[in-house]
Amino acid sequence: MTKSVLAEPAVTVAAASAPRRSWIDPLALWSVVRITAARQGRGKRTFIIAGLLALPIALGMIIRNVADPYLPKNIENLLLFVLIFQGLMPLVALLFATGMVQDDIEEQTLTYLLIRPIPRGAIYCGKLVATLFSAWTRVAFFTALAFAVVYFGNKEMGAAALVARGAVILGLEALALAAYVSIFGFMGLWAKRALLIGAIYIVLLENALAYIDFAFRNLTVMFHIRVLSVSWLDIPADYYNIDPATAPSVSTSLIALASITAVITGLGAWIFSVREYRMKTPEGV
């Protein structure tokens, strides 16, 4: 039985007049981006990623010393377009993006973002931007180093051509990472074993399926990145089992990548907005 020791108060609801501002404060969003990026720059994960991304550089140095004749284009293909583009780049996106919300949940710091006057969808997008920044800066830095190792002392291409080629490669990485970060960020919201599922996704869909000449590969990020690589970097289409006659145009691939990124980001923002994040307290309830 309940003992009530106070009379019931009047049943009225106080109406508050909040300062109504429908826009999202850019400084608040910038804060979300900075906090997320700062977290991603710390911890074991950063060292693991740096170690993984250093592999192509180490491999490139070894190959330069032993390969005879040394063919930079072939080595570039192996180190950049196979090792980094197909393996390490999606893996880095996976490692960063699956933790972008999960880290805040595990460390119980999400509360500090959720109790602020920012729509949850905007918080999610801010985190995604930070994750893209974290992933791209690291991948781009190590790609540039690997690129330098491959072409150092090369006389076939002029400096201007090398810089232009490098810039296109880094641009392609930004496009791919935007899509991957949105996919793996979304995965991190609902999958309990997001890292495992993401790794399987990378191997099966983004590598095996993207190579098979079948309509479904149009849904993979890697296929469109390969189409753009063929067009912009003069990589032979048969490397990727692409028929130039039936391959999508550059604009189609750009639209496909932008659409994948936008749709999956929208879905992620929606899930983040409607989901409850219960902070466990020492007392349990």
Which tokens go with 170? 């880094």
- If binding is defined by CB under 8 A, does position 259 make contact with other proteins? no
The nearer residue to other proteins, 10 or 160, going by C-beta atoms, is 10
Which tokens go with 173? 């990485």
Q: Which residue from 45, 64, 73, 120 is in contact with other proteins, where contact means CB under 8 A?
A: 120
- If binding is defined by CB under 8 A, does position 101 make contact with other proteins? no
Q: Kindly tell me the sign of the dihedral angle through the C-alpha atoms of 237, 242, 246, 250.
A: negative
Q: Which residue from 62, 74, 108, 238 is in contact with other proteins, where contact means CB under 8 A?
A: 108
The minimum distance between CB 273 and other proteins, in angstroms, equals: 7
Binding footprint of other proteins, residue count (CB under 8 A)? 55
The minimum distance between CB 118 and other proteins, in angstroms, equals: 6
Any residues with CB less than 8 A from the CB of 75 and at least 6 apart, and which? 60, 63, 64, 67, 150
Of 14-22, 128-136, 141-149, 175-183, which segment contacts other proteins by CB under 8 A?
14-22
Type of residue numbered 91: L
Which tokens go with 156? 């076939």
Type of residue numbered 125: C
The nearer residue to other proteins, 160 or 285, going by C-beta atoms, is 285
The minimum distance between CB 7 and other proteins, in angstroms, equals: 8
Of 7-15, 152-160, 190-198, 262-270, which segment contacts other proteins by CB under 8 A?
7-15
Type of residue numbered 75: I
- If binding is defined by CB under 8 A, does position 44 make contact with other proteins? no
Which tokens go with 202? 């990378």
Distances (CA, A) of 263 to 122, 226, 278: 15, 21, 27
The minimum distance between CB 131 and other proteins, in angstroms, equals: 16
| Pick from 282, 226, 270: nearest CA to 81 | 226
Distances (CA, A) of 34 to 41, 123, 157: 10, 12, 39
Q: Which residue from 48, 62, 67, 112 is in contact with other proteins, where contact means CB under 8 A?
A: 112
Footprint on this chain of other proteins (rule: CB under 8 A) = 1-6, 8-16, 18-21, 25, 27-28, 30-32, 34-35, 38-39, 42, 107-109, 111-120, 273-274, 276-285
